[in-house]
Structure 1
Amino acid sequence: MRTPPAHVAPPDRALKRHRLTRITLASAVVAALGASGIYIAGAQAEEVDVPGRVQAEAFAAHSGAQTEGTGDTGGGRNVGWLANGDWLRYDNVSITGADLAARVSSHNATGGTVELHLGAQDGQLLAAFPIAQTGGWQQWKTVTAKASGVPTGAQTVFAVMKSASPSDFVNLNWFTFGPPAGTSPSASASASPTPTASSAPSATPPASPSASVPPSAPAGGWVPVDQTKWNKELAAFNALKPKAVPPGTTRVPEFHTDCGVANSAADDPIVLPGLSGASHMHTFFGPKVDAFTTTDKLFAAANTCNAPGDKSAYWTPELRKDGKPVPIKSMRIYYGSRVKDPSTVKPFPPGLVVVEGDAKRQVDTPKNAGSNQFWCAGSAEIGRSADGNWPRCAPGGNLIFQLVFKDCWDGRNIDSPDHKSHMGDPVNGVCTGKYPVAVPDLSFMVNYESLGGDGLSLSSGKPSSMHGDFMNAWEPERLADLVKSCLNQNAKCGIDTTFAGG
């Protein structure tokens, strides 16, 4: 029996969605990814491939999209948490007639429209689908629209969300652009190939959704790991002999890197690749980053991180005080392990990118709210801001945020449509099921030159929208040595395999 995911709307007028963790059973389950609000149908049946449909999650680029396992007929995934101004881009779409359709759901009384534009977000209007309440976030309805024309050849189509509501107002499952032409439009791409090399992780990772985007496509889809490269790095790691742990070493699986600020920009090469200025402001640590940064480019870039071999990029939303950027005091990234047996941890696969947190989460975080909390380091908290969301620190301290990433990998993909779904959490201290490969646990420790209080905001909004991005560009030999000697041996290290006590 398949258990469909369900958004739950609270009784407030804005109908903001709760991110609920659901405990489910059997072969078709739903796993909640922390506070991100992403639901992933576990071990669900393959999505039914219908000729002529463009699956909503097969976008080539997006702003504001998150995916989840769908309860709609046919299975697979849908795109959710869509609000006014969000958009999805589809490449190489064949428009075969004027009769268009979209599969939608909504639990927002305000409603809105989904506009289809050609070539750009503000390009020629092709059609607009009206959106009204359907009875729930997983109550699906097919709506139709007439195209203003039927252009020939492959098209780039932007689906742009329009609504007067300040909250999410629509989910999308698929589109059709006229009658079927005999084959699925090229925007619906095939699944990632199954790894077959003998040195791949022994557990069988889950199949990627049938609408995944091939590796040559822009970020925004499922991107499979370079299996040949990964097998080579894994074989070298397995053959590596760890350094002896001296007496007095603290038995904690840990090493770290300290990174300086490289630049700030309204770019995000993971979420909005190739779209300069399309994001909120980010503070980038390590290398200088722009919308065109890729993992391959990082290896040749200058880097401010002090761990030898760390060419990776890290970034967070910009913190502001009365509209001006707050200086960074320090940024330390800890690499550790949350699994019961740290000897099972493997290095990150080549090209891995990950986003942790939810830039769209806009809820209050008063003291002891439990998550997405800024706190005081080096001194006591002596009060809160007028809105209750920010601590006030006593002199001698500073504002700090710790962001912990997921550390179980699916073993197949280095990116996913929401940049999160290829990663998961340990279950009872073990990486298993859909996420069988234990990798280092990242923890951002961002220290700000601020005592907190009034006038603070993130470029993404409230403190609850705090999030972080990681683009792996560790030199494989350096990372392998740190994982093998420090994490696997449950030993505390610094920026290299120099062991530490205390």
Structure 2
Amino acid sequence: MRTPPAHVAPPDRARKRRRITRLTLAGAVAAALTASGIYIAGAQAEEVAVPGRVQAEAFAAQSGAQTESTGDADGGRNVGWLANGDWLRYDGVSITGADLTARVSSHNSAGGTVELRLGAQDGAVLASFPIAQTGGWQKWTTVAAKASSVPAGPQTVFAVLKSTSTSDFVNLNWFTFGPATGASPSASATPSTSSSASATPSATPSSSASASVPPSAPAGGWVPVDQARWDRELAAFNAITPKAVTPGTTRVPEFHTDCEVANSAPDDPIVVPGLPGASHMHTFFGTKIDAFTTTDKLLSATTNCNAPGDNSAYWVPELRKDGKAVPVKSFRVYYGSRVKDPSTVKPFPPGLRVVEGDAKKQVDTPKNAGSNQFWCAGSAEIGRSADGNWPVCAPGGNLIFQLVFKDCWDGKNIDSPDHKSHMGDPVNGVCTGKYPVAVPDLSFMVNYQSLGGDGLSLSSGKPSSMHGDFMNAWEPARLGGLVKSCLNQNAKCGTEVTFAGG
């Protein structure tokens, strides 16, 4: 899974300067856009349509990209925040000649390559555009390339980004695929995500109200909650009479579900829905998952999770030892609360989708480095791997990772362009401001049959890239009962409303 980079100040000064420039350029257009910040490709008045061009923002799907107002001639939008491994997919492209061009800008001295590939991210190379520093993120130039062939008929073309840099390295404005034909050679014109100038969800986002995204939907965008359904579920939840807490119950807000591995696949139905093989390898828990999984499908599927009513999907990147998958010893999801008053916690809204962690974060994590740490359960850590990133556990223990999700919801959207921005953290123990609704706090506990050490890697890269995905498919009555009796009453439960001590 590749998640679009968060709009935070990056570590190096070049990227910081880039962000400041982009915010300034985006300010004027942000005021004219709706509060959702969603841009519909081909529908922006200030862009001058030029026959024969495929606008870079007219992608059908993407990983790692975001759009912004452009300073290039002809106006409109360009695609930015593009780093090594990111990609854009264009459907229905007619290639009318061997002479191809791309409009690019770069403020990264490392440069790189934009590869055009046919049919898949690893498909045959159609052409490669070399990228060199142009003097600024809005200093544009046109680069040329020769197509290796001129295939007949509409094509699916992937633009795959390659660079030795760990930072974003190129902006894209448009492509041409041969001489002008009097019309844009691409039939694709799908919504793309907003610029960094607007990260606030709208009260009336432009996506249709649905509990699940159809497989053909592009990755990204604000997805509003089905308000009528949510109102019905809240009314039913409010009407629940909580079960009386028994003496000896541990007074912590908690219940859990235990799930087994369902399957592994290079799919991600949240980030790249409808694109099998478009992601790195994931380990899925509960229900067998593929790129076409939706909430509606989960609700009628068979699960191996042991909490009655939990048909939700959970997944993490695959852990590998010398290139081979490391078996999972156990997987438990704790549902708890971090707010001061757990009686304010509500169940998850229908169809909620959330990503926690950053698959693009590739930094070292030596001992005591803070977050994104694997550690030893059941025995002591007795050393580190040669690169310092992985603990070595004493016999009798195992490698473990705990991933904690955000637990304040914006009350409006079940998904967002980066699959994170509809969720936030409590402020002084209270869900407030843009994130006023307290929901259960998810905590993935992934135990591996490994003592750690050398040869380990995640399918997404370094341990700092550890991340998790959640698609809510709980039966509302079951989830509501657990929230009302266990979380709201600050009481420890198991997989059902059975109180526990210890």
Normalised by the length of structure 1, the TM-score is: 0.76
Q: 1:351 to 1:150 in 2, by over 3 A?
A: farther
Give the residue type in structure 1 aligned to 2:435.
Answer: Y
3-state secondary structure, aligned to 1:288: coil
The 1:189–1:146 alpha-carbon spacing in structure 2 relative to 1, beyond 3 Å, is: same
Q: In the aligned structure 1, how far is the partner of 2:236 from the partner of 2:405?
A: 26
Give the 5 Å matches for 1:442-481: 442-481=442-481
Q: 1:131 to 1:471 in 2, by over 3 A?
A: same
Residues 190-239 of structure 1: per-residue CA shift (max 9 Å, x gap): 999xxxxxxxxxxx964577799995552402222222222222222222
Which residue of the partner structure matches residue 141 of structure 1? 139
Deviation at 1:455, TM superposition (A): 1.9
Q: Structure 1 pair 100/373, CA: closer, same or farther in 2 (3 Å)?
A: same
Describe the shift of the 1:321–1:46 C-alpha distance in structure 2 as closer, same or farther (beyond 3 A): closer
The aligned runs of 1:205-284 (5 Å cut-off) are: 206-207=202-203, 217-222=216-221, 223-284=223-284
Which residue pairs with 1:369 in the alignment? 369
Looking at structure 1, the residues matched to 54 and 205 of structure 2 have their Cα atoms a distance apart, in angstroms, of 14
Check conservation: 2:78, 2:173, Cα contact below 8 A. Answer: no
Q: 2:287 aligns to what?
A: 287
| Residues 153 and 281 (structure 1), Cα distance of their counterparts in 2 relative to 1, 3 Å cut | closer
The CA deviation string for residues 458-500 of structure 1, in whole angstroms up to 9 with x for no partner, is: 2222111111111111111111111122222222111111122
- SS of structure 2 residue aligned to 1:161: strand
- Report sequence identity in percent: 72
Question: 2 CA distance for matches of 1:140 and 1:243?
Answer: 61
Specify the code of the residue in structure 2 equivalent to 1:141.
Answer: K
Aligned to 1:80: 81
Superposed, which structure 2 residues align to 1:191-202 within 5 Å?
A: none
SS at match of 1:343: helix
- TM-score of the superposed pair, with normalisation by structure 2: 0.76
Instruction: Confirm or deny: 8 A CA contact 1:106 1:169 kept in the other structure.
Output: no
Count of aligned positions: 459
Residue-by-residue CA offset, 1:28-78 (whole Å, 9 max, x unaligned)? 99xxxxxxxxxxxxx79887763459986774422x4154x9686799996
Residues 482 and 94 (structure 1), Cα distance of their counterparts in 2 relative to 1, 3 Å cut: farther
Q: Which residues in structure 2 correspond to 1:296-307 (within 5 Å)? A: 296-307=296-307
Please list, as runs of the form range in 1=range in 2, the aligned pairs for 1:353-392 lying within 5 A after superposition: 353-392=353-392
Q: How far apart, CA to CA, are the structure 1 residues paired with 2:247 and 2:78?
A: 52
Change (3 A) 1:444 1:265: same
For the pair 1:50 / 2:49, whether they are aligned, the reply is no
Q: Structure 2 unaligned runs (5+)?
A: 1-5, 21-25, 28-34, 195-199
Q: Secondary structure at the match of 1:263?
A: strand
Cα separation, 2, equivalents of 1:126 and 1:209: 37
SS at match of 1:339: coil
Q: Which runs of 5+ in 1 are unaligned?
A: 23-27, 30-42, 193-203
Q: Is the 8 A contact 1:260 1:330 kept in 2?
A: yes
Post-superposition offset of 1:324: 2.4
Letter in 2 for 1:277: G
Do the aligned partners of 1:191 and 1:208 also contact (CA within 8 Å) in 2? no
- Residue 425 of structure 1 is matched in structure 2 by 425
For 1:419, the aligned partner's letter is H
Q: Is the 8 A contact 1:205 1:435 kept in 2?
A: no
> CA 1:190–1:80 in 2, change beyond 3 Å: closer, same or farther?
closer
CA deviations 1:371-427 (Å, max 9, x no partner) are 110001111111111111111112221111001111222223222232222222222
Q: Which residue of 2 aligns with 1:25?
A: none
